[in-house]
Amino acid sequence: MSSTTGSRIVVTGATGNIGTSVVRLLSEDPDVGSVVGLARRAPEWSPPKTDWVTVDLSSEETDLAAEFTGASAVVHLAWAFQPTHDPAVTWRTNVLGSIRVFEAVAAAKVPTLVHTSSVGAYSPGPKDEAVDESWPTHGWPDAAYCREKAYLERALDTFERDHPEVRVVRMRPAFLFKRESASEQRRIFGGRFLPGPLVRPELLPFLPDIPGLRVQALHTDDAAKAYRLALHSDARGAFNLAAEPLVDAELLGELLGARPVRLPRTAARSAIAAAWGLHLLPASPHLFDAVLRLPLMDCTRARTELRWRPEHTANEVLEEFLKGLQQGAGAETEPMRGRKAG
């Protein structure tokens, strides 16, 4: 065990998809003394030995160092996906807010920083073999999400050089899903009025098979377990996190009982771009371009150094998530509130 044993751990973005899983796991951990969850809106949810603090990372007036003082570790999860039509807003929260977190960690002399990066930080890569953590992290420049994740990788390079006394861990998970995240992710990527109950296999006459649509998925709770293992170790550096098998049109077709039909990238992108331009779809065509170029990740380092193993297969993750969509599933926090649409 590292020095986090019996300690105080601060979690930013504690009420979101991954935040709720991390907080729940740490609050049940006998080796963790207390958890402080930072969020823009305090939830009604009250897990054991957890206190909530209302914080806006985009505000320059926020005194993060005061919140971090005495912490054994800071787990930085906060992230804003919208508005996709105004990337300056997400830049203020995601990039400038994260840099404030890094600076406050150093000012408060916190010994460990666990930062949530992403597969989206990686430069375009192969779809027929997996890459390890040494693959370049320059992102896909046209997508704000990838630009921001990649920029923070460079910011952490500088931070580690200037503050070698801080143990920095960078988690790079695949796409994260769980039942409770269904309503939140529907709103973020599909739109507030996309009817979740319509996500039923019998309503899909065919499934678009788009060249390059070969990605990885992971249950959010399995990602949280990797964070816990990293906190209770001396590990440093980056860790890829993903479950098997790979997610492609064939797997989705079997899951949904739909026949894959080849669809050119340009046709799919044009439809997404039109919907996004009309503000009918929050997910931008630039993110679609990035997804088709993301490399597949090799998770050997997390398995060997952290002794991490995902408990859920990608099939199980997606089945659970789809049921959550149909049921309007959610959790007891504002970002994760459940609601059926339509």
Does residue 50 belong to any structural domain of this protein? yes
Residue 238, SS3 per DSSP: strand
pLDDT in tens, 37-48: 999 999 999 999
Specify which residues 219 forms β-bridges with.
177
Specify which residues 173 forms β-bridges with.
241
Q: At what angle do helices 144-162 and 97-107 cross, to 10 degrees?
A: 20
Alpha-carbon distance of 1 to 140, in angstroms, equals: 37
Residue 297 sits at the vertex; the CA angle it makes with 293 and 302, to the nearest 5 degrees, is: 155
Number of domains present in the structure of the chain? 1
CATH of the domain at 149: 3.40.50.720
What is the model's pLDDT at position 34? Answer: 97
Does residue 285 belong to any structural domain of this protein? no
Does residue 228 belong to any structural domain of this protein? yes
Tokens of 215: 């990605």
What is the model's pLDDT at position 99? Answer: 97
Would you give the DSSP letter of residue 188? I
Alpha-carbon distance of 17 to 185, in angstroms, equals: 9
Does residue 210 belong to any structural domain of this protein? no
Tokens of 21: 């899983």
Tokens of 285: 């065509």
Does residue 94 belong to any structural domain of this protein? yes
What is the model's pLDDT at position 192? Answer: 58
Alpha-carbon distance of 330 to 194, in angstroms, equals: 15
Does residue 280 belong to any structural domain of this protein? no
What is the model's pLDDT at position 256? Answer: 81
What is the model's pLDDT at position 210? Answer: 87
Does residue 257 belong to any structural domain of this protein? no
What is the model's pLDDT at position 1? Answer: 40
Does residue 188 belong to any structural domain of this protein? no
- Are the CB atoms for 239 and 169 separated by under 8 Å? yes
Alpha-carbon distance of 135 to 270, in angstroms, equals: 30
What is the model's pLDDT at position 4? Answer: 47
Q: Which residues in the chain come in under a pLDDT of 70?
A: 1-6, 191-206, 339-342
Q: Where are the alpha helices (DSSP H) in the chain?
A: 17-27, 64-68, 87-91, 97-107, 144-162, 182-185, 220-231, 249-256, 265-277, 285-291, 300-305, 314-327
Q: How many CB atoms lie within 10 A of CB 325?
A: 25
Q: Which domain holds residue 299?
A: 7-179+216-244+295-312
What is the model's pLDDT at position 340? Answer: 55
- Are the CB atoms for 324 and 254 separated by under 8 Å? no
